[in-house]
Structure 1
Amino acid sequence: MTAPLSSELIYRLDDKPPVPEASFAALQHLLASFVGVVTPTLIIGNILGLQEEVPYLISMALLASGIGTFIQAYRPLGIGAGMLCIQGTSFAFLGAILSAGFMVKDRGGSSADILALITGMCFVGAFIQIGLSQIIPYLRRIVTPLVTGIVITSIGISLIKVGMTDLAGGANAEDFGAPINLGLGFFVIIVIVALNASSNNWVRLSSVILGLLAGLVAALVLGELALQDLGMSAEIAVPQPFKYGFSFELAAFIPLAVIYIISSVETTGDLTANCVISNQPIEGEGYIRRIRNGVLGDGVNSMIAAVLNSFPNTTFSQNTGVIQLTGIASRYVGMYVAGILVVLGLFQGVGDFLLSIPKPVLGGATLVMFGTVAVAGIKILATEELDRRKVIIIAVSFGLGLGLALVPEVFAQTPLLFQNIFSSAAATAGLTAITLSLIIPENVGAVIEVEV
């Protein structure tokens, strides 16, 4: 079976649009994904106190995203889906990465020590995804939509605290919760909400980046930001493989490994949606091969990102909507996007500029983004018919995962290995959901339908 043909496609998968059309489409994809590419790095850097390294890390995130996007579009050596799949730093790994970072920080480790462990584990973890790409059809029988929905919802909800903390001024800020901070943060939220209500598709797609720009202007007007603070250096960000070293700890790695499994299944869904929009088969050997190579591409791209001192990459789902709106599904547009991302990544001034964004402004935008992640998980769960079995799986998984996010010290008296394994709310919820799905018989849920 193939996806239904659409008369709305102007350029199909293997068409080569003229340079002006391809460039314009590439810019639209960049606007839809740019904030998502750089925000995880900003959050990790700010929370773990890596401010001096953040501009370089942002450059590497952009460079890795560009290389990854090219691999997915061009499909060298059969690696990649051969589609317009924009790659970017994944929000899904934030909880596990931050937990590992705090583990090193709490024992007195330096910024280099923190990044050595994080990038080392991300490098090793990429091989999990590379291996899983070859058994994706079987993996989907274990990591079901129920499990994926639970994990994605847990990721979004557990990260909302990060956005709210920044909105109030940032952790340990002397003016934490000051009216001026709250005003800036809520102003950004209001702008994003208003732009999303627009009838113009491009305004909606660019709502987050436009909200950030509006917040910057407001901060300048209110005297919370000076023009000289927005200076951009002309320094070139030279890629240095494993610049901060390489280390690995199994206990801290386990939560990260769980997220790599979930991310592989999520990528399968994103690639399938891309196939539908691009008029490609969604069944048969060709489809399976495309999905397998696409997930393999995610794994290889995450490995490259780790070598470049960045964090795991994934296929962004929001760009599928851009394909639908533009009618341009050509994978060659992905190469244009890749080129722009690589050029941006080579200029460390991009990171300097982003680092100057006031925390309340960034917090207002990330609060909305994390809420959107949670909604994506809820939408997946909403497709499930909730019988008794599924309700108990959801209840226990959320109870343990989100309970851990609310009370992180709950396992303080347990062995260190146990603490590290269950240090991430999303990983805890995912492990619980997978375990319960395997041990609770399917027919239990069919006995009594839950009443809502």
Structure 2
Amino acid sequence: MSKLLYGVEDKPPVLTSIVLAAQHLLAALGGIIAVPLVVGGALKLPADQVVALINAALLGSGIVTFIQCRGVGPIGIRLPCVMGTSFAFVGAAISVGLSGGVPAILGSSLVGSLVMIVGSFFMPQIRKLFPHAVTGTVVTMIGLSLVPVALNWAADSFGPNPNDPGNLAIAAFVLVTVIALVQFGKGIVSASAVVLGILIGYIVCLALGMISFEQVEKASVFALPQPFHFGMTFPIAGIVAMSIAFMVTIVETTGSFMALGAATETKITGKRLSAGILCDGVGSALASVVSAPPVSTFAQNVGVVSLTGIASRFVVAITGVMLILAGLFPKVGALIVTIPKPVLGGAGLMMFSMIISAGIGMLSRVEQTKRNSLIIAVAVGCGLAVTVKPELLSKMPHFIQEVFHSGITMGALVAVVLNLVLPGREIADEEEHEEEAAPQLARETA
């Protein structure tokens, strides 16, 4: 029996959809603006250029989110995906930017996106490397890797008062509020628990005088897209670095799609993976043109689906429209940025923990053999190692750091390799997935 309130193809009422879409917007916004802020700070860009990067990132994320959810021909996985910039690109972007500036980052991203576009045609073969034991491990690792992000938000680790007990109290208050709304709320109240929890936490912080509207006052009302605003250059070293980052992102995005499949009760076939990865690649090329960093599927929004039971891709398509508006109307984005990090941390901890729960549920259905236990234990252990102690790789060659810095990528690669080398190799049954997914795919193409 389905646990979803709205399935992938369901269309909730318009007002309900807008409220539900806002949850995904709030869950993703911090991650979308974080990369331009980090890269801009590392390159010591002027404030106006950082603002231009942020607006472009919101616009690019919105356009590609809409395409990924609704689909355009063979492009788009047609699931509730929110797109944003993965931190897998940050290291490469900074190294390229320090030598060639933003034009080199954008040019290298444009060429590097071909790696993802070409790779999308091999996803049916890659899908066979993800049997249930590997998929469950990757989904669990996604949740475990995101929990530290929520904890940093909760403690406001990078703010003026990191680890202040007041920050933790606000995060705990929001967490308890979301739990209460999910458990005891009915209908739209339960379904919109995340956005309601954040709204209540925001009001509390406003009453405590913790929110400043200085950024909102400074932001312009309207800003047109600026294609090729920074220009483009194509350094060979930069193209190589970004191409490696795109290869890493293919692994991360595959894991995110697997997690989304579990959350939306949808079979993820090789064909469907191809459509999703192709959208990531084409979307990243488009993002470069509008002067935005490359994009990939955000795993944190899988937690919203798992928590609320709202799997409608049409709801998240509205999130894409909201992101576009935030990019076109900077005051909107600036207002959302005023949400205190501890408020996001409380809600984020709940959402990301739900991904862990989904992964554990998948692993509970895996046959409990010595072989599967080894794959799960070693992959999760290695993934947690670089998540909890990222400095482990600080003395390693730059290529190794680029590939293995993410706990998601480390866990996924270790699980895939162990499944290949240990006796009794498992291969995901693609034909079975295709058969089970056929009715839904037929509805989508009708």
Q: 2:183 and 2:201 mapped to 1: Cα distance?
A: 18
Residue among 286, 295, 311 paired with 1:304: 286
**What's the TM-score, normalizing by structure 2?**
0.74
- Per-residue CA deviation, residues 370-399 of structure 1 (Å, 9 max, x unaligned), is 323333333333332231112112222222
Identity %: 29
Cross-structure match for 1:375: 357
Cross-structure match for 1:210: 196
- Mapped contact 1:232–1:350 kept (Cα < 8 A): no
Cα distance change on mapping 1:297 and 1:255 into 2, 3 Å = closer
Cross-structure match for 2:341: 359
Cross-structure match for 1:420: 402
Alpha-carbon offset, residue 440 of structure 1: 1.0
Cross-structure match for 2:157: 170
- Per-residue CA deviation, residues 311-369 of structure 1 (Å, 9 max, x unaligned), is 4243865787899879x88x6x7776654543333111122112222232232233333
**What's the TM-score, normalizing by structure 1?**
0.73
Alpha-carbon offset, residue 431 of structure 1: 1.8
Cα distance change on mapping 1:79 and 1:166 into 2, 3 Å = closer
- Mapped contact 2:62–2:319 kept (Cα < 8 A): yes
Residue among 431, 435, 443 paired with 2:413: 431
The alignment's C-alpha RMSD in Å is 4.2
- Mapped contact 1:148–1:266 kept (Cα < 8 A): no
- Mapped contact 1:163–1:367 kept (Cα < 8 A): yes
Cross-structure match for 2:247: 257
Higher mean C-alpha deviation, range 231-240 or range 352-361: 231-240
- Mapped contact 2:62–2:83 kept (Cα < 8 A): no
Cross-structure match for 1:97: 89
Cross-structure match for 1:63: 59
Cα distance change on mapping 1:206 and 1:320 into 2, 3 Å = closer
- Mapped contact 1:30–1:337 kept (Cα < 8 A): yes
Cα distance change on mapping 1:126 and 1:441 into 2, 3 Å = farther
Q: 1:396 and 1:206 mapped to 2: Cα distance?
A: 37
Alpha-carbon offset, residue 33 of structure 1: 1.9
Q: 1:302 and 1:127 mapped to 2: Cα distance?
A: 9
Please show how residues 101-120 of structure 1 align to structure 2 within 5 Å: 109=98, 113=101
- Mapped contact 1:89–1:312 kept (Cα < 8 A): yes
The code of the aligned residue for 1:351 comes to G
Q: 1:9 and 1:378 mapped to 2: Cα distance?
A: 23
Higher mean C-alpha deviation, range 414-423 or range 402-411: 414-423
- Mapped contact 1:126–1:260 kept (Cα < 8 A): no
- Mapped contact 1:132–1:264 kept (Cα < 8 A): no
Cross-structure match for 2:371: 389
Cα distance change on mapping 1:205 and 1:431 into 2, 3 Å = same
Cross-structure match for 1:189: 175
Q: Are residue 267 (structure 1) and residue 257 (structure 2) matched?
A: yes
Cα distance change on mapping 1:242 and 1:425 into 2, 3 Å = farther
Q: 1:180 and 1:167 mapped to 2: Cα distance?
A: 10
Cross-structure match for 1:24: 15
- Count the aligned residue pairs: 412
Q: Are residue 404 (structure 1) and residue 404 (structure 2) matched?
A: no
Residue among 221, 224, 227 paired with 1:238: 224
Q: 2:333 and 2:324 mapped to 1: Cα distance?
A: 13
Cα distance change on mapping 1:78 and 1:406 into 2, 3 Å = closer
Cross-structure match for 1:447: none
Structure 2 unmatched runs, 5+:
427-446
3-state DSSP class of the match of 1:384? coil
- Mapped contact 1:168–1:176 kept (Cα < 8 A): yes
The code of the aligned residue for 2:162 comes to F
Q: 1:436 and 1:385 mapped to 2: Cα distance?
A: 16
- Per-residue CA deviation, residues 185-234 of structure 1 (Å, 9 max, x unaligned), is 21121211111113423223322222222222111222222566664734
Please show how residues 64-143 of structure 1 align to structure 2 within 5 Å: 64-72=60-68, 75-80=71-76, 83=78, 85-89=79-83, 93-94=86-87, 96-100=88-92, 109=98, 113=101, 123-124=110-111, 126-143=113-130
Q: 2:32 and 2:216 mapped to 1: Cα distance?
A: 19
Q: 2:66 and 2:389 mapped to 1: Cα distance?
A: 42
- Per-residue CA deviation, residues 43-101 of structure 1 (Å, 9 max, x unaligned), is 435666749567555543443344234434664454335x5x4441258x33x234446
3-state DSSP class of the match of 1:442? coil
